[in-house]
């Protein structure tokens, strides 16, 4: 006779369950149940959006670990673990024996100590291993089987909109000004005047600037993008971008700028640029509209 073992993740309101290591129960006995609460990350606004390719040791992320449902059964403890480049054989434990709720900070220097020097394109996923009340441990990044709290992202978004089951951070390649010239395809345009696949040509201005003309402007002038090579952050100072939109000839002339956001990023690893834009036309202003491009 083989006894089933079932891991039951505590999402009591939704009634979701995850079955792990289920085998045929030849004796028809009731399976052993292990109740494992769902632990979520709530990032702090002070956290870095990505790891600097110039000074990776200065990276810092801060977050609160807490139960998705405050009245859920508490685990014995949780461990904060990190996986590098989607390889489950690289998982390292960063913080151990944590009681919930807890505020945790992970730094770039800690990642370097655990994994060695970083290089452009490296990706780090942060999760938690949960030790249930009965002592059974469930892993965030197992080599085989179901990962901790897999498949419940939508449920988390419904209960705690600002929380997530884990965090992911990328170290982009160092800024290469020669990458940001030539034809780029539109990936996303929240202003909706271009569509995915449309081509916008970038022009190198100097070692830290490039420009482009937005295609639906009358008498378009180059939009100048400045790049901070220490952080790979692009920015556009408020500027006039043409005399009018092709569908609106009324003054005043349209303008564009960027505002601070995690969506401002150049990544020469994959030839992409993302800009958090504010466009204006006449008396209308459209803030926080992402324009993302990828080199052809």
Is residue 137 within 8 A of residue 34, CB to CB? The reply is no
Of 189, 177, 209, the closest CA to residue 293 belongs to 189
Is residue 296 within 8 A of residue 182, CB to CB? The reply is yes
pLDDT band, residue 282 (cuts 50/70/90): confident
Given a cut of 90, whether residue 5 has pLDDT beyond it is no
Phi, psi of 160 (to 5 degrees): -130, 90
Residue boundaries of the structural domains of the chain: 38-170, 182-295
Q: Can you tell me the mean pLDDT for 72-101? A: 95
In angstroms, the CA 39 to CA 129 distance is 9
In angstroms, the CA 94 to CA 114 distance is 8
In angstroms, the CA 34 to CA 59 distance is 37
Angle at 178 between CA 173 and CA 181, to 5 degrees: 110
Q: Can you tell me the mean pLDDT for 263-275? A: 95
**Tally of helices (H runs) and strands (E runs) in the chain:** 2, 22
pLDDT band, residue 12 (cuts 50/70/90): very low
Q: Is 112 helix (H, G, I), strand (E, B) or coil?
A: helix
Q: What is the pLDDT of residues 185-241, one digit of tens each?
A: 999 999 999 999 999 999 999 999 999 999 999 999 999 999 999 889 999 999 999
Query: Global pTM?
Result: 0.73
The domain defined by 38-170 folds into Immunoglobulin-like (2.60.40)
| Other C-beta atoms lying within 10 Å of the C-beta of residue 242 | 19
What is the secondary structure of 161-212 as a DSSP string? TT-BS-EEEE-PPPP-TTTSSEEEEEEEETT-SS-TT-EEEEEEEETTEEEE
């Amino acid at each position: 006779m083989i006894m089933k073992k079932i891991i039951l993740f505590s999402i009591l309101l939704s009634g979701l369950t995850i079955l792990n290591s289920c085998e045929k129960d030849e004796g028809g006995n009731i399976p052993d149940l292990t109740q494992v609460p769902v632990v979520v990350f709530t990032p702090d606004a002070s956290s870095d959006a990505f790891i600097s390719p110039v000074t990776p040791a200065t990276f810092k992320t801060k977050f609160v670990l807490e139960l998705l449902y405050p009245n859920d059964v508490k685990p014995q403890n949780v461990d904060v673990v990190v996986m590098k480049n989607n390889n489950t054989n690289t998982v390292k434990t960063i913080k151990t024996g944590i009681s919930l709720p807890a505020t945790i900070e992970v730094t770039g220097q800690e990642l370097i100590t655990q994994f060695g020097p970083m290089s452009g394109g490296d990706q780090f996923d942060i999760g938690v291993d949960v030790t249930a009340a009965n002592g059974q441990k469930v892993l965030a990044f197992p080599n085989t089987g179901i990962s901790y709290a897999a498949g419940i992202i939508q449920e988390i978004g419904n209960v705690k909109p600002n929380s997530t089951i884990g965090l992911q951070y990328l170290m982009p390649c160092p800024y290469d000004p020669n990458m940001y010239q030539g034809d780029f395809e539109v990936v996303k345009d929240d202003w909706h005047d271009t569509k995915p696949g449309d081509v916008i040509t970038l022009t190198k201005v100097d070692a830290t600037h490039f420009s482009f003309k937005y295609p639906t402007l009358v008498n378009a002038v180059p939009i100048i993008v400045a790049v901070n090579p220490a952080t790979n952050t692009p920015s556009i100072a408020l500027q006039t971008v043409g005399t009018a939109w092709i569908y609106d000839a009324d003054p005043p002339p349209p303008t564009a700028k960027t505002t601070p956001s995690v969506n401002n990023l150049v990544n020469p690893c994959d030839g992409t640029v993302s800009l958090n834009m504010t466009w204006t036309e006449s008396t209308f202003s459209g803030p926080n509209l992402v324009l993302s491009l990828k080199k052809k």
